A and B are shown apart, each in its own frame.
Chain A
C-alpha cells in the first residue's frame, strides 16, 4: 500500500502546488489537503480536501480516517487574513493540535514542517552566515519569526516523544515566485522602496519551484533533520531595488519605524510590507549556510538567489527607473566614445 500524505495549508499557493506535485508521485495513494476555509478553487486534481480548523482537535479524526502516514505541515505562515492574533493562533495552537494528533496516531511515520530562516532573527551582532546549529544572540521578539521559533520547539518535543517518526524541519529563506504573495513581495511591489539609511542588508531567496521540490523530497524519503533552504548567492537590498528599477528612499531608522507605523494603518499592500520583523530584515539582512542541504539532504537548488529574483522581477510591473532605460544612456555614451576614438588622428596612425 502506498503513502497517504496529509498537507496542511493547501489554500496557500505553496501548499496547493506541493499537494499537486506529491499527488502525482508513484507510491503515493492519497493526498489529503487541509485548511480552514471552504475548498480552494485552485485545489489540484487528485487531492482530497478536508475543511478543518487546525486549532480544533478535529484534525485527529482526519488523520485516523485516512490512516495518514506522512504529515507535511505547511500552515506555518505569515500570511492569512483576520489579523495577527488569528495568524499566531493558527501557527502555534494549530501546530500543537496537529502534533498532538500525530502523537496519538501510530500510523504516522514521517513529519515535514515548513519553518523559516527568520528563526535566526536579524541583528547586527550575529554571525554573517548562519548554520543550522547556531543559536542566535537575539531570539526574535515577536511576529511570525517568534511563531516559527515556538513551532520548532514543539516539533523538537514531538521528535523526542515519538522517536519512530522521521522528522524534517525545513527553514526556508524568503520564497519568491512568479506571482507569490509574501510580505517581502508586497514590499518589492511598492513604487518607491523606503530603506534604512546607512544599511544595505544582504538578502537570500529561494525560488518557489525549488521550495516545492525540497518539500517533495522531504515528504518521500530524504534524510531527516533541520535544514536551511536558500538559493546560492546573496543580493543586497540596493541591488534588488536597482534590478527592479525602483528608487530607494533612505530614511533614518527611527523615521522608517514611523513610516512603517503609518503604513500599517493603511490598506494592503503597504500594511503587509512593513511588519516589525520585516523592518529588522530590511535593516540587518540575513544569510544562511546551505552546506547541509547540499551534503546531507542531497539537494542543490536549481535557482540561485539572483536567478530567483530575476524571475520575480520579470513578472512585476517595472519601476520608474527600469535598468534598460538607464543602460540606454550609458550605452549611448560608451558607443560615442568608441565612435570618437578613430577620428583621433593619433589613433589612426599604424603602430
Chain B
C-alpha cells in the first residue's frame, strides 16, 4: 500500500483526501497489469508458447483472446439482458456449452422435425414432461438452439422462481414464470416459447405410468397462443422417462420441504450422490406439424370449448407420436 503511494504517479498527489478511496493507494492495478503482462509475455515467447500450441492446437491465441473478451465484458457488466433477464451471451457461451455434451454424447439425442419450427416469428412449443428433474426441458432448449438456431424461452413452474440460485440461472437462461401474461408477451415479441403443460403431474409421475400424458392444465397455453395468433408445435420426447425411473415418493419429506415430490429411484437415495446421475438412455425429440391458430378471431381465446378442443388436439398429437416413437424404438439405451 505505502509503496504504491510513492511518487510513481504525480497526479496522485492532487487527489483530495475526501475523494480518494481509503481502501487502496492510487492505481496499483496498472502496475499489476504490467507485471502480469510482462511475465506472461516472457513465458509465451519462451517455452510456454510452443507448449501451448502443441497442447491446445493452432489458433489457441484467438480462442484465448475471445475468452478474454468474454471475461472483460463479464467483469465490467458490459452485456445486455432483455426484460425477462435473458442473458444471451451467457446462455450461448456457458449454459448451452455445458449442456451440449449431455445432449449429444450422453443421451445421444436424435432431433427430428426441426423444419416445423419457423425461422422467425412467435411459436409455442408444447411438449410432454417426464423424468423427475426437468432435464427434458433443458435438452429441448439445446435442440432448438442447435438445430433450429432459435432460443427457446421456457415457461417454468413457480417453484423455480422461489428457489435461490435456481431462479437466477433460470432467468439468465431465458426462462420465465408460466403465466398467461409472460407467455403472451414473449409470443407477441416473436419468441419461441416452450411449455410443458403437464407440470409436476407429468414430471413426477410413477414409472408405471410412463409415456401416459397427464391432464394438460387448464389450456392456458392454448389461450395465449390464440391471443398472439401464433402456431402451436407439438413436441414428443422419448427417453427422458427412463433417466430417473421413479418407483416411490417420500411424501412426508416432500411436504416438509415444500416440494411436490421427493423421488425414490432404483439408485436414489441408495447410492447417495451417485444416484443422482441419470441413466444413459437414448432420446428422441420429435417436433410435429404446427397447428395454426391465426385463422381464429382474437376473441376465440375466451371461448372455453374451442380452447379445450385445441388443447385435446395438441395432447392427442403428442400422445400418438409418443406411441409411434416407442414402437420404433429398439431399446431404451439403444
The chain A residue sitting closest to B53, CB to CB, is A344
A131 touching B181 in the complex, CB below 8 Å, given contacts A243-B77, A253-B164: yes
Contact B85 A336 (CB under 8 A): no
- Interface hits, B76-94 → A, CB 8 Å: 76-85, 87
Q: Does B134 contact A (CB under 8 A)?
A: no
Which residues of B are found within 8 Å of A332, using beta-carbon distances?
Answer: 33-34, 36-37
Distance (whole angstroms) from the CB of B36 to the closest CB of chain A: 6
Q: Does A179 contact B (CB under 8 A)?
A: no
Q: Does A163 contact B (CB under 8 A)?
A: no
Q: Does A289 contact B (CB under 8 A)?
A: yes
Q: Does A12 contact B (CB under 8 A)?
A: no
Q: From B49, B71, B81, give the contact of A234 (CB < 8 A).
A: B81
Q: Does A161 contact B (CB under 8 A)?
A: no
Per-residue interface assignment for chain B, residues 49 to 61, with 1 indicating a CB less than 8 Å from any chain A CB and 0 otherwise:
1000100001001
The chain B residue sitting closest to A338, CB to CB, is B65
Which residues of B are found within 8 Å of A285, using beta-carbon distances?
Answer: 85
Per-residue interface assignment for chain A, residues 256 to 286, with 1 indicating a CB less than 8 Å from any chain B CB and 0 otherwise:
0000000000000000000000000000010
Which residues of B are found within 8 Å of A252, using beta-carbon distances?
Answer: 164
Contact A336 B84 (CB under 8 A): no
Distance (whole angstroms) from the CB of A71 to the closest CB of chain B: 33
Roughly how many angstroms separate A148 CA and B164 CA in the complex, as a whole number?
29
Q: Does B30 contact A (CB under 8 A)?
A: yes
Q: Does B176 contact A (CB under 8 A)?
A: yes
Name the interface size band of chain B.
35 or more
Q: Does B171 contact A (CB under 8 A)?
A: yes
Q: From A243, A326, A336, give the contact of B37 (CB < 8 A).
A: A336
Which residues of A are found within 8 Å of B81, using beta-carbon distances?
Answer: 202, 234-236, 239
Which residues of A are found within 8 Å of B78, using beta-carbon distances?
Answer: 243, 323
The chain A residue sitting closest to B31, CB to CB, is A328
- Interface hits, A107-159 → B, CB 8 Å: 124-129, 131, 134
Q: Does A325 contact B (CB under 8 A)?
A: yes
Contact B72 A129 (CB under 8 A): no
Q: Which of A24-32, A76-84, A191-199 sits within the interface?
A: A191-199
Q: Which of B38-46, B193-201, B205-213, B260-268 sits within the interface?
A: B38-46
Roughly how many angstroms separate A332 CA and B44 CA in the complex, as a whole number?
14
Contact A234 B82 (CB under 8 A): yes
Distance (whole angstroms) from the CB of A247 to the closest CB of chain B: 10
Contact B76 A129 (CB under 8 A): no
Q: From A127, A233, A319, A329, give the contact of B181 (CB < 8 A).
A: A127
Q: Does B182 contact A (CB under 8 A)?
A: yes
Which residues of B are found within 8 Å of A234, using beta-carbon distances?
Answer: 81-83, 85
Which residues of A are found within 8 Å of B84, using beta-carbon distances?
Answer: 128-129, 202, 287
Contact B185 A289 (CB under 8 A): yes
Contact B49 A344 (CB under 8 A): yes
Which residues of B are found within 8 Å of A191, using beta-carbon distances?
Answer: 21, 23
Which of A131, A337, A341 has the most B CB atoms < 10 Å from its CB? A337
Q: Does B256 contact A (CB under 8 A)?
A: no
Per-residue interface assignment for chain A, residues 213 to 239, with 1 indicating a CB less than 8 Å from any chain B CB and 0 otherwise:
000000000000000000001111011
Contact A198 B165 (CB under 8 A): yes
Distance (whole angstroms) from the CB of B182 to the closest CB of chain A: 5
Distance (whole angstroms) from the CB of A317 to the closest CB of chain B: 6
Q: Does B330 contact A (CB under 8 A)?
A: no
Which residues of A are found within 8 Å of B61, using beta-carbon distances?
Answer: 337-338, 340-341, 344
Distance (whole angstroms) from the CB of A323 to the closest CB of chain B: 4
Which residues of B are found within 8 Å of A338, using beta-carbon distances?
Answer: 61, 65
Contact A287 B83 (CB under 8 A): yes
Q: Does B68 contact A (CB under 8 A)?
A: yes
Distance (whole angstroms) from the CB of B257 to the closest CB of chain A: 17
Q: From A287, A317, A340, A341, give the contact of B21 (CB < 8 A).
A: A317
Per-residue interface assignment for chain A, residues 314 to 351, with 1 indicating a CB less than 8 Å from any chain B CB and 0 otherwise:
00011110010111111111111111110110100000
Q: Does B308 contact A (CB under 8 A)?
A: no
Contact B164 A320 (CB under 8 A): no
Q: Does B305 contact A (CB under 8 A)?
A: no
Q: Does A162 contact B (CB under 8 A)?
A: no
A333 touching B164 in the complex, CB below 8 Å, given contacts A129-B84, A202-B171, A327-B72: no
Q: Does A16 contact B (CB under 8 A)?
A: no
Q: From A317, A326, A340, give the contact of B45 (CB < 8 A).
A: A340
Q: From B29, B37, B185, give the contact of A129 (CB < 8 A).
A: B185
Q: Does B271 contact A (CB under 8 A)?
A: no
- Interface hits, B19-36 → A, CB 8 Å: 19, 21, 23-24, 27, 29-30, 32-34, 36
List of 4 A-B pairs having minimum Cβ-Cβ separation, nearest first: A198-B164, A242-B77, A239-B77, A198-B165
Could you give 22 example pairs across A and B, Cβ below 8 Å? A124-B162, A128-B176, A197-B165, A198-B166, A198-B167, A200-B168, A233-B83, A236-B87, A240-B77, A242-B76, A242-B77, A285-B85, A319-B21, A323-B77, A325-B29, A326-B75, A328-B29, A333-B40, A341-B61, A343-B45, A344-B53, A344-B61
